[in-house]
Structure 1
Amino acid sequence: MSVCASSLAIFFLAASKHRRPVDYCTCAPQSFLARGETALGPNGTATCARHPAVARVGSPGSAVRWVMFNVQGKSKNRRGTIAVLTVACLIMLLAMVGFAVDMGYIVLVRTQLQVAADSAAIAAAWARLDSPLPQVLATAQDYASRHVAGGKTVNLGPRDVEFGWWDSRVRRFNPGAEPINALRVVARRDLSTNGRISLFFAPVLGLCELDVKAQAVAAFADNFSGFRLPNADATLPVLPIAIDKKAWDALLAGSGTDQWSWDDHAQRPRCGSDGVLELSLFPARVGAPGNWGTLRIGRNNNSTRELSRQIREGLNQQDLEPYGGRFELGKDSTLVVGGDPGLSNAIRDDLESIIGQPRVASLYAKVAGQGSNAQYTLVGFAGVRILDVKLTGPQDKRRVVAQPATVVIPAGTINRSAARTSYGVYSTPCIVQ
């Protein structure tokens, strides 16, 4: 017991002074050998598994003295190695942090430019439906300037907005191609526009600035051969009215009057010119053909009440059932629909209720039959806006004044041939690329 107590005292004293200690383990070597808890130390001596840092001095069966190995020199070497590795790891860690910060900033600026390009493209596409190209360019620049990328306002140059044709079959934008149904907006930060972005840590490697850009293509369909409903509860803004195709072509050629204008702010028509010609629609009279008529879309026994509903609300799913759910031209680009060349005063209030609202009217090439037996051969569609209705008084004084307008439909069938079958009728502009 005295030997063990002395050994413990010497061990703790030596450990506290960080010097080479000499210790006497109380563990019996026979017990370790019996349990297999010994290992060979220096010079073939047995070591205690519980105290691997000491070596046994003596012979089996005698009091065992354990001397702690002197590992002070090795500890110094290890501390120097760890210091070098720590510095190297810190350098690598700082490099990775710098790379992550710069890459995150680049992604942030590119995302901000993409948002600006998307916004400008959509706004310009909507403006393109009824505005000239210079105004469309101004719209794109205005919406882009409302965004910031990397702390700078996004400005568009004249070359950053391109007009062209979007081929939906191969999903490709063709700049400068006709007819124009798409535009591409490029938002950039480079030497030419808005300046390059400055990086934070990349200058250590010699890269101080970087060019970043994003682009968006917005497109719309503008040549339809027919229309359908996007869902069962929707309606189509299609009037049960047909207009003579020859009269429409003459209007587009410049034959018409310009006595009315539509006030968007007041939402009502005004007398006076607005640069858009009007077409005076009148029914057939004795000895003179008319240039419009009402159509019986849907059931053959279409009543005045159904006609009024279609004028006010548009065509519903029940109206399209006789045509397979689609009101569209056939393979020969025609559709025959029954109608009436006359004009009843019963629908006057209905027509007045939609004054100023963009609607789709059908275009007919010929009409066969008389009265309620008339058959209209439809060959196209046109966007119109009714400005004036007069269905009282002498028959030769009755008229409905309309002018071309832009109509956006929910769903339709695109005519991919070269023939034009719709005018002023468009799909909703959207980002396609």
Structure 2
Amino acid sequence: MQRFAFTSPQSHRSGNVLVLSAASLVAVFGFAAFVVDIGFITLTRAELGTVADAAALAATIELPDGFTGTSWNTVTTNAKTAAQATAAANVGGGLNSVYLDTNRDIRFGNHSYDAATGQWVTTWGTAPFNIAEATLHRDQAGSVAGDQPLDLFFAPIIGHNRASVSMTARAALLPAVGIKKIPGKNLGVLPITLDISSWNALMAGNGSDLYSYNSETGAITQGSDGVKEVDLYPLSNTTTTAGNRGTVDFGSADNSTADISRQILYGLNDADLAALDGEINWSQGSFVLNGDTGLSAGIKDELVTIKGQPRMIPLFTSVSGPGNNAMYTITKIVGIRILHVQLTGKSKKVLVQPASIVEPGAIYGPTTVTSGTVFTPGVIVN
């Protein structure tokens, strides 16, 4: 009698379930790898992006010193140190400290407006520097410094052990075409004006170099520092009018010596700027300021008090009328630092040198970057 062997359908179904379960597990692990590891990569990119912003901004804080005679090598070294310290103080990519290589990860350039093309142009490696770029790496294979690729969680199950990430940020001090008062802070504009031709000559390298300013200590000493000086007290009346030596009225047209003294020491307040609608903007063309009685021994002590401190002054293209009736046509505001004051005796002088200033109320616009430029605080310009 012939016998037949029968295979239970249930055993086939069990085998199929095992195969399907194994395949499903692979899919589940793959999905978990995608969700968890992509989330980790995305988080790391966000962390490194934020830290790169902070590092670039920290570097820009050091850049104004380069406009005051400090060598750009010293300035960029200090800026790199600031960027590195800022990065190290933050977490990212699963590490308690973000690594920044000062020789590789940060560079500096000049960021200014090109009138010929109508574009903002960055030239890397060319001073004067007003822009910093920081790049944070997690993509350096074999490194153990903190810039190595990210170790993934689930992806190794499907053959992907690491992921490479890097983020770059740029921050710049933007040149201003106007300034406005912000709440709680006066504008450090002196009520003393200089003719623009003398300023242009200073920018061209003409002038004395009798005093030195140390940006690290704030000390002023006799001797050259490589930054030329100009005298705010004119040698003749060729650029000012009879009875006036370059002082102007912000606010009331009949400011007293007390008003001038206050403005020298503490800057312009809301009342001083009311007639100018709270801001001074030279991108819209020139504006007119009334002349005052002039530079005299009555404000000597105030000028001596602010020696070495950055301040701003208006530049004029023309003046008409005598004394308090003088009218100055103002076209620009620039940054200066007073180095020497002598307003008694025959040899009267108020020597200043250009000093780039970071002004919280600065209004940026299309202009070039030079010594004496008024800048905005650092802003991200990616």
The equivalent position to 2:186 in structure 1, one of 211, 219, 235, is 235
In structure 2, the partner of 1:142 is: 81
In structure 2, relative to structure 1, the CA distance for the partners of 1:117 and 1:410 (3 Å cut) is same
In structure 2, what residue type is equivalent to 1:313?
Y
Q: Which runs of 5+ in 2 are unaligned?
A: 1-9, 114-118
Does residue 313 (structure 1) correspond to residue 266 (structure 2)? The answer is: yes
Does residue 109 (structure 1) correspond to residue 62 (structure 2)? The answer is: no
TM-score, reference length from structure 1: 0.68
TM-score, reference length from structure 2: 0.76
The equivalent position to 1:121 in structure 2, one of 51, 56, 59, is 56
- CA deviation map 1:187-224 (0-9, x unaligned): 22334894433334323323233220112121232141
In structure 2, the partner of 1:48 is: none
Q: Secondary structure of the equivalent of 1:388?
A: strand
The equivalent position to 2:310 in structure 1, one of 358, 364, 372, is 358
% of aligned pairs identical?
Answer: 34
In structure 2, relative to structure 1, the CA distance for the partners of 1:373 and 1:93 (3 Å cut) is same
In structure 2, what residue type is equivalent to 1:407?
I
Does residue 258 (structure 1) correspond to residue 197 (structure 2)? The answer is: no
Give the Cα separation in 2 of the matches to 1:98 and 1:121.
33
Deviation at 1:237, TM superposition (A): 0.9
In structure 2, relative to structure 1, the CA distance for the partners of 1:330 and 1:128 (3 Å cut) is closer
Give the Cα separation in 2 of the matches to 1:208 and 1:244.
67
Deviation at 1:360, TM superposition (A): 0.4
Deviation at 1:366, TM superposition (A): 2.0
Deviation at 1:334, TM superposition (A): 1.5
The equivalent position to 1:348 in structure 2, one of 294, 297, 300, is 300
Give the Cα separation in 2 of the matches to 1:220 and 1:287.
36
Give the paired residue count: 350
Contact 1:364 1:377 in 2 (8 A): yes
* 1:1-150 map, 5 Å: 94-131=29-66, 137-139=76-78, 141-146=80-85, 147=87, 149-150=92-93
- CA deviation map 1:268-288 (0-9, x unaligned): 322222221222222465789
In structure 2, relative to structure 1, the CA distance for the partners of 1:185 and 1:289 (3 Å cut) is same
Does residue 386 (structure 1) correspond to residue 342 (structure 2)? The answer is: no
Give the Cα separation in 1 of the matches to 2:296 and 2:79.
46
Give the Cα separation in 1 of the matches to 2:245 and 2:65.
25
Deviation at 1:428, TM superposition (A): 1.0
In structure 1, what residue type is equivalent to 2:374?
V
In structure 1, the partner of 2:351 is: 401
In structure 1, the partner of 2:199 is: 248
In structure 2, what residue type is equivalent to 1:402?
V
- CA deviation map 1:275-333 (0-9, x unaligned): 212222224657896895110111112111111111111111111112222233374x2
Structure with higher RCO (Cα < 8 A, 6+ apart)? 2
Deviation at 1:81, TM superposition (A): 9.9
Does residue 426 (structure 1) correspond to residue 375 (structure 2)? The answer is: yes
Contact 2:195 2:239 in 1 (8 A): no
Contact 1:166 1:182 in 2 (8 A): no
Does residue 327 (structure 1) correspond to residue 280 (structure 2)? The answer is: yes
Contact 2:288 2:328 in 1 (8 A): yes
In structure 2, relative to structure 1, the CA distance for the partners of 1:243 and 1:352 (3 Å cut) is same
Give the Cα separation in 2 of the matches to 1:182 and 1:425.
14
